[in-house]
Amino acid sequence: MQNRISFESLSGSKEFKEVLSGKRLNSNLFTIFYKTKNFTDKKNSIQLSCVAAKKLGNAVKRNKMRRRLKMATKKAIEEIEKKFKKKFKYAIFAKSKVYNENYQNIVNELINKLKSI
């Protein structure tokens, strides 16, 4: 039976500030912040949040960007499952180009960036 990947959202401003103080990886479509998990965090789950800032548009636009980014991230992680590092917490911030970009381009860009971490 296939191993299911469990995702967990970052919760609270304290956890976000902690991840934002870590390393950063930039792209045309998004910015990935990541930081090593604490010893108290779950080791097998993937702690990841997708964020669209308020300046990117109204709620409908932001939600669409966040949904597209979240689904693309799940697909990218499934494709590179062996090379994906679960020892980090991730926060992925969308840029305005995500709204109109082809879905497969988003997935490919995520695969490239997540492999390079």
Tens digits of residue pLDDT in 69-115: 999 999 999 999 888 888 899 999 999 999 999 999 999 999 999 99
What domains does the chain contain, in order, with CATH numbers?
7-110 (3.30.230.10)
Q: Residue 100: is it exposed, middle or buried by C-beta count within 10 angstroms (0-12/13-18/19+)?
A: exposed
pLDDT at res. 1:
40
Tens digits of residue pLDDT in 33-43: 999 988 776 66
